[in-house]
Structure 1
Amino acid sequence: MADSSDDEYLATDWLPYSEREDWSDITPLPQDDGPSPVVSIAYSPKFREVFDYVRAIIAKGEKSQRALDLTTEALRLNPANYTVWQYRRDILRAIDANLQDELDYLDEVIKQNAKNYQVWHHRRVIVEMLNSGQWELELTENALDNDGDAKNYHAWQHRQWAIRTFNLYDDELEFVDRLICADQRNNSAWNQRFFVLKHFGFTPEVIRRELAYAMDRIRVIKNNESAWNFIVGVLRQSESGKLNSYPEVGQLSEELYNAGNRSPYLMAFLIDFYQEQALEAADDAMAQKVYTLCTEMANKHDVIRRKYWQYVSSNLKSQLDKSAEQQEQTA
């Protein structure tokens, strides 16, 4: 738990609720772990007392300013407690609290608990109650910067929700570009870029621009899974949805491979790229390229997925054999 130190309890001027005159009307409700708990948790005296009073308040159904203050103290001790967050929301609604104050409070909580799902969920509910997302982009940007983890899933999830809910797409590509420039392997930023592009639409001009953007970064870092996945995603948005719909990508991939690059992400792209053509035109030459690449992947460059690449190779052969049989039968 966040506060398990008896020293802190004894050394501060914190006054137990049982000694507070304004709480004399409340009888604390101890936690009931049953007659024979398997593991008895050694809660600190402060933790035990605060939550005994939280349980009492919830049982009583009291929704007041003092109850709100009590939840603040409880959440300082355990910010992941769903029940306390839910009851806090009930209190905020009941007393018609100033929700801007609640957002300010959450700014501080998120700084200390940026990967806590309950905090982000509470933030979303409060923003929905206010029906305004004007602070959410700055909040999530700070969380992604200050947290030291630009891939914080909860911050990204909240950011996407805010952008989608309040139509905040306009400057997002600039923000994402800054993150990608800082770390070209930031898969969350690449995913966010795709999220924004999908909102505006994948016109041929956008597709060509984004492919050039990703290829420029692959030229810098060949073994960048995020950029290769982004390229595949963008190509699938083309009218045909095929990997060979924009020849420049295939040309770059073959150039890199012929120059000696053996990135497993490059090779995986080429396998899919050649496989599409082999199946589309029953092209034995393309099929042979797939078999060769799959063998290289299975034996050297992606050994951990050896059986997968063996399956890809055998499955392509099976599909081509079946297609050839069908052609013979109809001839």
Structure 2
Amino acid sequence: MREAQIQLRVMCSNDDEYVSEEDVWVLYKDREEWADVTPLTQDDGPNAVVKIAYTDAFTDVYDYFRAVVASGEMSERALELTEDAINMNAANYTVWQYRRKILKHLGSDLKKELAFCREMIEMNPKNYQVWHHRRVIVDWLKDASKELRLTEMIFSQDAKNYHAWEYRQWVLRTFKLFDGELDYVDRLLEEDVRNNSAWNQRHFTITQTTGFTPDVIQREVHYVKKAIEKVVNNESPWSYLRGVVQHCDGRMGSVGDLENWCRQMYEGGQRSPYLLTFIIDLMEDKMEHEPDLRPSVLKHCLQICICLATEHDQIRQEYWRYIGRNLSHRFGA
């Protein structure tokens, strides 16, 4: 970032008072090199409902940016102008888009642009436009050698940054960099078994590589059972388990002996709402495949629905009453 932008405050030599950035900022209208450009003010119409109180510096930069876009100027000074505009509002799509047009027109150093983009990501890690810009630049370069490390750095600060995960998936899929991805996910889940983003990434990685073959399903069921046994009241692995068994061809409960595993936890007094919900799924699947067992299984299923509605998941009591009515309608005599 240029010196004028990073100088947030300056020590006055006389009285040790601080002055703001706006006091040292040179407005574009006062810069000789921009004297040939007539700024284009924002048109809010004759009766603006809520007029935004922009700072003088913000208004100045965007007035000149609008003028540059209107004239179609693509120059080094216009590129610097977009940097100032981005620093004032990194979420402005139009500025990023015009910056890309200038970069391509000038044949600019894209490695340098990646460095700028990384700086913006560190300042705005949950800004969609910043991540999209980096994606475009990396696609132009056809070089993703630094991208996985970048996302790992972001995850060390916020392991559930949706934009970073979406970007990482794009990198993995586009450049075929899946080697070692499951090992990375393992490390994240060892650090935090509740990391729902890591569970989602595990499902994504398997889907994009081996797929959920019978052997993979058995392996993943074993893996997720161990994770659940660490913290039963953890929704993320239960959701992952449900996603895994959906890929099996036969009975859900037979995969990894899930039916007996759940029964043992239930009979041992475990009443996690996630366990109870999964048991309902297993029983519904059982009633689908074994009609002769429906009366007894349905009775147990309805009892669990009542327990969820009245004790273990009261916030969704109406939902569980609906599920009970629905199951009775489908499988009742």
Report the Cα distance in structure 2 between the residues aligned to 1:56 and 1:8, rounded to whole angstroms: 27
Q: CA deviation at 1:174?
A: 1.0
Whether 1:227 aligns to 2:234 is no
The one of 155, 158, 170 aligned to 2:164:
155
Are the aligned partners of 1:264 and 1:302 in contact in 2 as well (CA < 8 Å)?
yes
1:71-82 pair list within 5 angstroms: 71-82=82-93
Report the Cα distance in structure 1 between the residues aligned to 2:40 and 2:66, rounded to whole angstroms: 6
Q: Deviations over 1:21-77 (max 9, x none)?
A: 111111111111112211111111111111111011001100111101100011001
Runs (4+) of structure 1 exceeding 6 A deviation are none
Structure 1 unaligned segments of length 5 or more: list them: 325-331
Whether 1:186 aligns to 2:175 is no
Q: Deviations over 1:233-274 (max 9, x none)?
A: 11111233x422315222221111111111111000001101
Report the Cα distance in structure 2 between the residues aligned to 1:164 and 1:236, rounded to whole angstroms: 23
Partner of 1:328: none
Partner of 1:212: 222
1:85-164 pair list within 5 angstroms: 85-145=96-156, 148-164=157-173
- 2:237 aligned counterpart, secondary structure: helix
1:15-30 pair list within 5 angstroms: 15-30=26-41
Structure 2 unaligned segments of length 5 or more: list them: 10-18
The one-letter code sitting in structure 2 at the alignment partner of 1:194 is H
When residues 192 and 105 of structure 1 are mapped into structure 2, their CA distance, relative to the original with a 3 A threshold, is: same
Identity between Structure 1 and Structure 2 (%): 46
1:167-206 pair list within 5 angstroms: 167-199=176-208, 200-206=210-216
The one-letter code sitting in structure 2 at the alignment partner of 1:8 is S
Report the Cα distance in structure 2 between the residues aligned to 1:10 and 1:233, rounded to whole angstroms: 54
TM-score (norm 1): 0.91
Q: CA deviation at 1:299?
A: 0.9
Partner of 2:303: 292
Report the Cα distance in structure 2 between the residues aligned to 1:293 and 1:275, rounded to whole angstroms: 12
Report the Cα distance in structure 2 between the residues aligned to 1:169 and 1:310, rounded to whole angstroms: 44
Partner of 2:20: 8
For the aligned residue pairs, the C-alpha RMSD in angstroms reads 2.0
Report the Cα distance in structure 2 between the residues aligned to 1:140 and 1:165, rounded to whole angstroms: 15
Whether 1:32 aligns to 2:39 is no
Are the aligned partners of 1:176 and 1:193 in contact in 2 as well (CA < 8 Å)?
yes
1:49-64 pair list within 5 angstroms: 49-64=60-75
- 1:248 aligned counterpart, secondary structure: helix
Q: Deviations over 1:188-244 (max 9, x none)?
A: 00000011111222222221111111111111101111111111111111233x422
TM-score (norm 2): 0.91
- 1:256 aligned counterpart, secondary structure: helix
Are the aligned partners of 2:221 and 2:256 in contact in 1 as well (CA < 8 Å)?
no
How many residues align? The count is 317
- 1:306 aligned counterpart, secondary structure: helix
Partner of 2:12: none
Report the Cα distance in structure 2 between the residues aligned to 1:135 and 1:9, rounded to whole angstroms: 33
The one-letter code sitting in structure 1 at the alignment partner of 2:229 is R
Whether 1:259 aligns to 2:245 is no
Partner of 2:14: none
Are the aligned partners of 2:271 and 2:312 in contact in 1 as well (CA < 8 Å)?
yes
Are the aligned partners of 2:222 and 2:256 in contact in 1 as well (CA < 8 Å)?
no
Are the aligned partners of 1:173 and 1:196 in contact in 2 as well (CA < 8 Å)?
yes
